[in-house]
């Protein structure tokens, strides 16, 4: 049972365990010990814009250098950019200091291997054990085995070129687009890429101050984006999360697309373009029931993985799929990149629009979204749901009443003390009633006082 890693790295409140400078040093040492080889001692580090990023970046760099690793600092760069640069440089690992869509007071540490992929479950377990050992160990005394720390001055340029080269035949001439950068890691990269490809852009939330990341903006709060798309008569809008590995799209009418709808649009486009290997797509158990129905009509088979982009990627590899994603807006194009990339996803959606000569609203119409209610309940503990009789019985009763017209899914957040209650049903009213019924049972049983 892992103590530090959740579904997407290590996260917590900055300056509280485990997001302390002391732990950052230990994590840096552990990463060097686990990944440094005779042929590669480089480790790439990037970060988002939150104020605690500098503190943790410095701790990680110190720990890495203390173990003889050479550190390459990218500065503020989207998570997928760090993965791409780590692979380009032949690094032994890549690290991102970010808590993604969480509030600024949180921070986190994500780790990639030298090929730009998220760590496997076993590799993560091994790294965690090493971190815990390093956090208890005294200082090292080998003065000759000390690494260097250098800045990569052209990290943004390289990442921008990487994205442009990923869509070699795409032109955005004649398109007006709105970008919400969440005051996060995409605030420079996204406007640069879309401008270089010829789009007329309107940019929101691109002035980070260390504490405004994700604050009422970005992928979690697309309201301002919706209004801006309608106001500026834009062809589409895109809201990124804090570290830029996810995106939520808004069509030309101001309607917010779900991540599943975006995945369906990309799947159909890729199949028509001959890119959808085996006509297979991977999503998660949280995906809307409408996705499977829509893809089936297109002759595309859907596979369901556990929540988390790493689990999606693992199933993509095992099933031979090149496209996968989560309803949260995290989409993976294995024929283009090794990890989820919000900017790349937006470009793929525009490519679909250009190829079909249709607006995004029409493309998204291939999928009917079943009414879905998700309620996050703060909890004080995370016992196996099946062992909590009150919750288990309530879920069973709701499932019986739904029959074949819906489903219930309950899971704990891997990064926060939350129990996620998700219900899909025949109508919005009934679905909300069922979800609130289960959520209330969770509150009175294991909820925070």
CA-derived radius of gyration, the chain:
22
Written as one string, the DSSP assignment of 169-198 is: T---TT-EEEEE-TTSTTTTHHHHHHHHTT
For residue 373, give both structure tokens.
């209610």
Q: Using the 8-state DSSP alphabet, how is residue 366 labeled?
A: T
- Report in angstroms the alpha-carbon separations of 44 from 80, 83, 294: 12, 8, 40
DSSP-assigned letters across all residues of 273-310: TT-SGGGEEEEETTS-HHHHHHHHHTT-EEEEE-SSHH
Residue 37 token pair:
């080889």
Angle between helices 21-35 and 121-136 (to 10 degrees): 130
Quick one: which of 201, 226, 245, 269 has its CA closest to 100? 245
Known catalytic residue: 100?
yes
Q: Where are the alpha helices (DSSP H) in 298-420?
A: 309-319, 342-356, 360-364, 389-402
Spatial distance between the Cα atoms of 26 and 30, rounded to a whole number of angstroms: 6
As a whole number of angstroms, the distance between CA 173 and CA 98 comes to: 33
Do you know the residue count of the chain?
449
**Which DSSP letter does residue 243 get?**
T
Give 152's DSSP letter.
Answer: -
**Nearest Cα residue to 276 out of 286, 287, 266, 284:** 266
Q: Starting from the edge strand earliest in sequence, which strands make up the sheet with 301-305, in order?
A: 301-305, 280-284, 323-325, 331-333
DSSP string, 104-151: TTEEEEEEEETTSPBPPHHHHHHHHHHHHHHHHS-----TTS---EEE
> Are residues 225 and 203 in contact, defined by beta-carbon separation less than 8 angstroms?
no
Catalytic residue among 41, 52, 100, 328: 100
| Active-site residue list | 100
């Amino acid at each position: 049972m892992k103590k530090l890693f959740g579904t997407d790295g290590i996260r917590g409140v900055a300056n509280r365990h485990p997001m302390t400078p002391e732990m950052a040093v230990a994590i840096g040492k552990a990463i060097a010990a686990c990944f440094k080889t005779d042929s590669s001692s480089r480790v790439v580090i990037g970060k988002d814009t939150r104020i605690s990023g500098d503190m943790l970046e410095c701790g990680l760099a110190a720990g890495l250098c203390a173990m003889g690793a050479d550190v390459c600092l990218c500065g503020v760069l989207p998570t997928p950019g760090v993965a791409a640069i780590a692979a380009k440089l032949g690094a032994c690992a890549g690290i991102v200091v970010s808590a993604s869509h969480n509030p600024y007071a949180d921070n986190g540490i994500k780790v990639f291997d030298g090929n730009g992929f998220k760590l496997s479950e076993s590799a993560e377990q091994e790294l965690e054990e090493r971190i815990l050992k390093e956090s208890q160990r005294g200082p090292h005394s080998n003065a000759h085995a000390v690494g260097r720390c250098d800045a990569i001055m052209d990290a943004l340029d390289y990442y921008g070129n990487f994205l442009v080269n990923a869509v070699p035949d795409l032109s955005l001439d004649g398109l007006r687009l709105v970008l919400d950068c969440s005051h996060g890691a995409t605030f420079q990269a996204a406007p640069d890429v879309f401008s270089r490809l010829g789009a007329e852009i309107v940019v929101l939330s691109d002035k980070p101050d260390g504490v405004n990341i994700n604050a009422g903006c970005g992928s979690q709060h697309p309201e301002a984006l919706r209004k801006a798309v309608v106001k500026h008569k834009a062809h589409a809008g895109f809201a990124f999360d804090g570290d830029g590995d996810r995106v939520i799209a808004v069509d030309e009418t101001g309607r917010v697309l779900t991540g599943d709808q975006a995945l369906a649009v990309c799947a159909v486009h890729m199949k028509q373009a001959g890119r959808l290997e085996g006509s297979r797509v991977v999503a998660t158990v949280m995906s809307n029931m409408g996705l499977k129905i829509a893809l089936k009509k297109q002759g595309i088979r859907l596979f369901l993985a556990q929540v988390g982009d790493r689990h999606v990627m693992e199933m993509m590899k095992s099933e031979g799929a090149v496209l996968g994603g989560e309803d949260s807006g995290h989409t993976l194009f294995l024929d283009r990149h090794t990890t989820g990339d919000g900017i790349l996803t937006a470009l793929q959606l525009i490519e679909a629009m250009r190829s079909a000569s249709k607006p995004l609203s029409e493309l998204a119409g291939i999928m009917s979204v079943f009414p879905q209610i998700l309620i996050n309940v703060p909890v004080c503990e995370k016992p196996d749901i099946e062992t909590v009789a009150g919750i288990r019985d309530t879920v069973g009763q709701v499932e019986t009443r739904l029959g074949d017209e819906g489903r219930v899914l309950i899971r704990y957040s891997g990064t926060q003390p939350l129990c996620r209650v998700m219900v899909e049903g025949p109508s919005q009213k009934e679905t909300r009633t069922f979800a609130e019924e289960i959520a209330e049972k969770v509150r009175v049983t294991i909820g925070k006082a």
